[in-house]
Amino acid sequence: MKKIAKAALAAVLLVGASLSAAAVERGGTMTYGRYADSLFLDPVLNDANVDIWILSNLYDTLLLPTDDGKGVQAGLATEWKVADDGMSVSLTLRDGIQFSDGSPIRPADVAWSLKRAANKDNGIWNFLVSSIDDVTTEGEKTVVLKLKHPDPAILAALTVFNTAILPQKVFEAAAGATDADKAKAFAEHPVSSGPFVLQSWDRGSTMKLVRNEHYWGKGEDGKPLPYLDGVTFEVLPDDATRILKLNSGEIDGAEFIPYSRVEELKSAGNLNMELFPSTRVQYVTMNARPQIKGKDNPLSNPKVRQAMNYAVNKDAIIAIVTHGVGKPLTSYMSSATPMHTGDKPLYAYDIEKAKSLMKEAGFEKGFDTSILVLAGNQDEIGIATALQQMWAELGIKLELQQVDNATRTQQYRDGVFTMRESAWTDDIADPNEITSYFVYSPTIDALHTGWKNEEADKLFDASQKEIDPTKRAAQYARIQEIYNGDGPIVPLYETPYPVALSKKVHGFLQIPLGNNFFGRAWLDK
Amino acid sequence: MPLFSFVLRRILQMIPTVVFILVVTFVLVRLLPGDPASAMLGDRAIDADVQRINASLGLDKPIPVQFLYFLKNVFIGDLGTSIALKLPVTTIIMQRLPVTLMLTLMAALLALVLAVPLAFIAALKREQTADALIRGTFQVGLSMPVFYIGILMLTVFAATLKWFPVGGYGETFGDRLYHLFLPALTLAFSFSAVLMRNLRSSIIGVINAEYVDFARAKGLRPRIIMIRHVLRNALISTVTLFGLQIGTLFGGAVITETVFAVPGAGRLMIDSIYGRDYPMLQGLTIALAVLVSLTFLATDIFQAWLDPRIAR
């Protein structure tokens, strides 16, 4: 019976696949409205999502993330094997791969690119591949990564933008004395390994990508990818303008649709309002130090933090701020992050419990405190105003301090903030990045809150070298249990990426890590 | 020759102004909390990275030392490299400032085209329906925020009627003029309201002056009286206002550029402040200070031409 069911399923999938294969159309340029322009197109030295989220269209990696963002699949490498002792990874390169200038992608380019990514002096992403000790080549097709210690996240790291493969000779021939100078020169006219090549870039206005004729990917029709002749990014910082431009047909897609417009665009006949699953979590960070600037800090008491958590009606905030687009968090990490545990919303609203916890903590009458809010940001102001009212029930007087981002970052890094609002998105399909920042105290003092838990720190250290997936999952389950119980945050909600696309756009994908993939996108004629 | 020495004097006066602005900008941006590396790397920055990057930008040196380096470089025409965009500041300014300049010029021209004839009509038909109608319409323009007028213009003339593109910036010169028309009109709307009101009351004041009565008694044709005697004298205070308002127009361009997705210097300025991009911010401030000073100079020259007594 099972076999028949499987065969039936296979048949359905085959028919589906052939139908869609017949439907694919080639050619055309897709115009995509972005909220901000990119800054710097070097995979290793960039530092912002505006770069990261489009880089994979230009530069290919050895492995690619799966569409759900949780696993890996073949990229420039077709086979990969982690040694039994976990101390090395050997990868076999795909046959006939070439850079956009037609030169072959050699193991030497791969070794050089990975060593550059792992170099401690280069950029801020080298921690993702800090386990790499050396990279060697064997013959024409094999690359071997020698590791300092077993690294369970090494395969996921090989899908991340900073491990993209660049042509060593072209990069080194670029003008400039240092790696940073060469990167500046190279990134102006990069030689690509991904599905597209940079054609022109009018900063602050438009960026044009055209198809890379040498890309290895094959489409559903058996011909080379990408389907599109090109992608044009238009920088449209104003939300209303971006949507007007989409509605008038001047662009084919628009990112970061405000939550308040999602319902309206869902019912628009000419658009598909996509909500791509994401790893984005929204939360409030609480400074857990006993004293801030010489004053006693009630937030250092775990019971106070728990009370404040129970007093927040997350469903109400989700309704007010995200217009119902978000959902409550079930752990500090998003449900799209691998090894996430938890099926119940954290701290379901319970005002009585909150009050009794405040009493136990000795703060029956509440206290005065403050929160840093990004000036002019409607979502943040909305959340803070809601918190102000909700916490007033506990006698807590919350002062809203509106500041700009750099000011907030400074207070945050100095550990002198009281509370702040934050959002987080993963860059790697592994829980280690978010956990190292949120939980593990050596990285940045658990979000600069001064919170520290010996057991969680030890578990994290162990999990970074644990190659048995079951054991590692158990470590992460315990870390989440500890942090979700008395961690220094108020988890608010997770939200998808709201992207509106013209009905003629097909195959566009934004994965949970945020990367926009145009390689399989195509347009109706 | 009085006009020539007047211009020379005014140009020399510009130098200390620009230097003063230079010093103030240099100090003020460094007094803002936060530093470029933290702003650039955001919340995830670890101390080692922040220190490494700030050192590579020379920001670990004392501020007076940084200022000397900066001055030296400004004198040889090097404004440094943008921290965020990693390109020479002069290159970026040459790309973005002309856009704002074109937008502002178009807005100023449109404002004049709207304000001058309408001010005449309003003044000549004082307290009549036409006057009330003109003043009423401009009052609306003056009281609505620029971004709202912008969105209204986009919705009506671009998205619905499709006469203009919905924001953006074209590729050829003609295409760019076409793209900039709506944003310029948006800016011109509130600008012309200010000009129109001022010019209207000046005309009313001048029209009753004795020399106008005299010109009339001489038998001059009404048109000649209007252009030579009324407009020329009424314009003096409006020209001052026009010059002063150009600075405000640059400010309004920031919002208009965002709404209409115009890649001008206004948006760049905002991004540079948020990103604590010191070299970019310094470069832009110098460029804008010179531009505004030049506008004031042009205003003064024009005024001196209208009323030669000023140059003496």
Q: Which class for A147: exposed (0-12), middle (13-18), buried (19 or more C-beta within 10 A)?
A: buried
pLDDT tens digits for range A394-413? 999 999 999 988 889 889 98
- Residue range A231-252: average pLDDT? 93
User: Is residue B95 less than 8 Å (CB to CB) from chain A?
Assistant: yes
User: Is residue B79 less than 8 Å (CB to CB) from chain A?
Assistant: no
* pLDDT interval class at B312 (50, 70, 90): low
User: Is residue B51 less than 8 Å (CB to CB) from chain A?
Assistant: no
- Mean pLDDT of the residues in chain A: 93
User: Is residue A247 less than 8 Å (CB to CB) from chain B?
Assistant: yes
B 261-300 near A (Cβ less than 8 A): 261, 263, 267-268, 273-276
pLDDT tens digits for range A167-204? 999 999 999 999 999 999 999 999 999 999 999 999 88
Which pLDDT score, from 0 to 100, does residue A250 have?
A: 93
How far, in Å, CA of B26 to CA of A205, rounded?
Answer: 28
Least confident range of A23-27, A121-125, A140-144, B245-249: B245-249
* pLDDT interval class at A18 (50, 70, 90): very low
pLDDT tens digits for range A67-90? 888 899 999 999 999 999 999 999
pLDDT tens digits for range B82-126? 888 888 999 999 999 999 999 999 999 999 999 999 998 998 888
Residue to test with chain B: of A182, A201, A205, most B Cβ within 10 A: A205
Residue to test with chain A: of B166, B278, B281, most A Cβ within 10 A: B166
DSSP-assigned beta bridge partners for residue A523:
A505
Least confident range of A97-101, A341-345, A397-401, A402-406: A402-406
Which of B50 and A249 is assigned the larger pLDDT? A249
pLDDT at residue A15 tops 50: no
Q: Do A205 and B169 touch (CB under 8 A)?
A: yes
- Residue range A246-267: average pLDDT? 94
* pLDDT interval class at A53 (50, 70, 90): very high
A480-500: buried (b, 16+ CB within 10 Å) or exposed (e) per residue? beebbeebbbbbbbbbbbbbb
- Residue range A361-374: average pLDDT? 95
Which pLDDT score, from 0 to 100, does residue A1 have?
A: 43
Which pLDDT score, from 0 to 100, does residue A333 have?
A: 97
User: Is residue B182 less than 8 Å (CB to CB) from chain A?
Assistant: no
Question: What are residue A397's phi and psi, to 5 degrees?
Answer: -95, 115
Least confident range of A41-50, A216-225, A252-261, B283-292: B283-292
Q: Searching chain B, which residue's CA lies closest to the CA of residue A245?
A: B166
| Residue A453, amino acid | N
Q: Searching chain A, which residue's CA lies closest to the CA of residue B162?
A: A248
Question: What are residue A66's phi and psi, to 5 degrees?
Answer: -70, 165
Which pLDDT score, from 0 to 100, does residue B226 have?
A: 83
- Residue range A98-123: average pLDDT? 95
Which pLDDT score, from 0 to 100, does residue B302 have?
A: 83
Which pLDDT score, from 0 to 100, does residue A2 have?
A: 46
Q: Searching chain A, which residue's CA lies closest to the CA of residue B92?
A: A203
Extract the tokens encoding A259.
């939550």
Cβ–Cβ under 8 Å, residues A280 and A425: yes
pLDDT at residue A20 tops 70: no
Which pLDDT score, from 0 to 100, does residue A14 have?
A: 45
* pLDDT interval class at A17 (50, 70, 90): very low
pTM score over 0.80: yes
Question: What is the per-residue DSSP string for B68-83?
Answer: HHHHHHHHTT---B-T
- Residue range B249-268: average pLDDT? 86
Q: Do A250 and B92 touch (CB under 8 A)?
A: no
Candidates A115, A192, A123, A34; CA nearest to B86 is: A123
Residue to test with chain B: of A47, A181, A252, A438, most B Cβ within 10 A: A47
User: Is residue B38 less than 8 Å (CB to CB) from chain A?
Assistant: yes
- Residue range B245-268: average pLDDT? 85
Which pLDDT score, from 0 to 100, does residue B1 have?
A: 55
How many beta-carbon pairs below 8 A join chains A and B? Answer: 119
pLDDT at residue B250 tops 80: no
User: Is residue B244 less than 8 Å (CB to CB) from chain A?
Assistant: no
- Number of residues in chain B: 312
User: Is residue A250 less than 8 Å (CB to CB) from chain B?
Assistant: yes
pLDDT at residue A21 tops 60: no
The most confident of A42-51, A281-290, B251-260, by mean pLDDT: A281-290
Q: Is A497 helix (H, G, I), strand (E, B) or coil?
A: strand
pLDDT tens digits for range A415-444? 999 999 999 999 999 999 999 999 999 999
User: Is residue A17 less than 8 Å (CB to CB) from chain B?
Assistant: no
pLDDT tens digits for range A143-164? 999 999 999 999 999 999 999 9
- Residue range A273-298: average pLDDT? 96
Which pLDDT score, from 0 to 100, does residue B8 have?
A: 86
Question: What is the per-residue DSSP string for B227-265?
Answer: IIIIIHHHHHHHHHHHHHHHHHHHHHHHHHHHHTT---H
Pair type for strands A206-211 and A230-235: antiparallel
Q: Searching chain B, which residue's CA lies closest to the CA of residue A247?
A: B159
The most confident of A264-278, B187-201, B214-228, by mean pLDDT: A264-278
